[in-house]
């Protein structure tokens, strides 16, 4: 099988396996109704406009039988959030999405957020492929449940992508990243992210330094995404929850020995081993109480049940 046929098969496997996947749904408890939803949008990019395109695509079979899809390149959309002091996800790379509004379903939320943030109407020219397991976003600072996160995956079923209309106060840039970047067998440079473990924030700098010394820090794996000329001066650093969700998506290709997946499964490194062991123990206990089993990869990126080091660092 040549490289192009292999890439097409990876794309096809991803979509069909995800479409058949029964995701984990976590209902919101009465004491915390806040939910958020994000959309990983996938398209098939072609170098030239195809001569024959189906008028309407309603399922994966109709999409993948088209010649332009067989000869195109699958790409996943990422965005970089605008830098704002009021936004806890400021400057981070993520999928498009945000928090729900009263009376919305998760799907209502993700469609509204995508339309508001990048000007894309998921009701026109897009097919919902499936959903990833939902996440409980929890602060390790005070064990507080912050929100439930529901990740969706949508497929663009038309060859021409509509122009973006970025909500500039929310979105700094967007980038299409080839699926082949994640399915490569080449090793990835780990551009790690280090965060201080701060349980309580105070204004006194001396006290903050003492707390940082006592608690130490934790280092997470991160990957620099390739960028086009438009974003050549912008660094798209993928880490945290979005790295974990991307890893979940790539696993549906059924190529489990990929270098990217190996990186995402690497455990966080704590400067203080005792703190790291304590966090791992608490995480496993909470996961076991919730789901009745232990998590195979208890790290910051691949957990369905997420604990956030600092509430300010929650990243959707």
Q: What is the DSSP string of 55-70?
A: S---SHHHHHTSHHHH
How far apart, in Å, are the Cα atoms of 16 and each of 9, 60, 67, 78? 10, 7, 18, 22
Which tokens sit at 147? 């929100």
Give me the phi and psi of 91, to 5 degrees please. Answer: 75, 0
Distance in angstroms (rounded) separating the CA atoms of residues 129 and 57: 12
Distance CA 213, CA 216 (A): 5
Q: Note the pTM of the prediction, 2 decimals.
A: 0.86
Which two three-digit tokens encode residue 48? 């030239």
Question: What CATH number does the domain located at 3-313 have?
Answer: 3.90.79.10
Segments making up each domain of the chain, as ranges:
3-313
CB 316 within 8 A of CB 149: yes
* Per-residue tens of pLDDT for the chain, all 316 residues: 566 789 999 999 999 999 999 999 989 888 888 999 999 999 999 988 888 889 899 999 999 999 999 999 999 999 998 876 554 555 689 999 999 999 999 999 999 999 999 999 999 999 999 999 999 887 755 557 889 999 999 999 999 999 999 999 989 999 999 999 999 988 888 888 887 776 656 677 777 777 777 778 888 899 999 998 677 677 899 998 999 999 999 999 998 789 999 998 888 888 888 877 877 787 777 667 766 665 554 444 334 444 444 444 444 5
Q: Exposed, middle or buried by CB within 10 Å (0-12, 13-18, 19+), for 64?
A: middle
Among residues 45, 291, 19, the alpha carbon closest in space to that of 152 is found at 19
């Amino acid at each position: 099988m040549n490289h192009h046929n292999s890439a097409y098969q990876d794309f096809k496997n991803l979509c069909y396996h995800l479409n058949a996947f029964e995701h984990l749904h976590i209902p919101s408890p009465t004491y915390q109704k806040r939910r958020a939803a994000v959309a990983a949008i996938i398209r098939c990019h072609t170098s030239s406009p195809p001569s024959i395109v189906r008028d309407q695509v309603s399922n994966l079979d109709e999409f993948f039988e088209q010649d332009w899809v067989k000869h195109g390149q699958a790409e996943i959309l990422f965005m970089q959030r605008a830098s704002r002091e009021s936004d806890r996800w400021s400057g981070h790379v993520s999928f498009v999405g945000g928090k729900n509004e009263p009376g919305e379903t998760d799907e209502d939320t993700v469609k509204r957020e995508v339309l508001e943030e990048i000007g894309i109407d998921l009701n026109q020219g897009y097919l919902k492929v499936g959903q990833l397991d939902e996440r409980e976003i929890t602060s390790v600072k005070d064990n507080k449940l912050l929100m439930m996160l529901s990740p969706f995956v949508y497929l663009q079923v038309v060859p021409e992508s509509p122009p973006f209309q970025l909500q500039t106060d929310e979105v700094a840039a967007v980038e299409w990243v080839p699926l082949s970047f994640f399915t490569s067998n080449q090793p990835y440079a780990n551009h790690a992210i280090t965060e201080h473990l701060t349980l309580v924030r105070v204004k006194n700098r001396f006290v903050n330094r003492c707390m940082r010394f006592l608690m130490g820090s934790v280092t997470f794996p991160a990957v620099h995404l390739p960028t086009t000329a438009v974003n050549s001066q912008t660094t798209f650093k993928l880490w945290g929850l979005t790295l974990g969700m991307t890893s979940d998506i790539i696993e549906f290709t059924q190529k489990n020995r990929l270098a990217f997946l190996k990186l995402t499964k690497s455990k966080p490194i704590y400067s203080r081993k005792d703190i790291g062991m304590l966090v791992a123990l608490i995480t496993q206990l909470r996961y076991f109480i919730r789901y009745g089993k232990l998590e195979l990869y208890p790290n910051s990126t691949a957990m369905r049940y997420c604990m956030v080091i600092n509430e300010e660092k929650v990243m959707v």
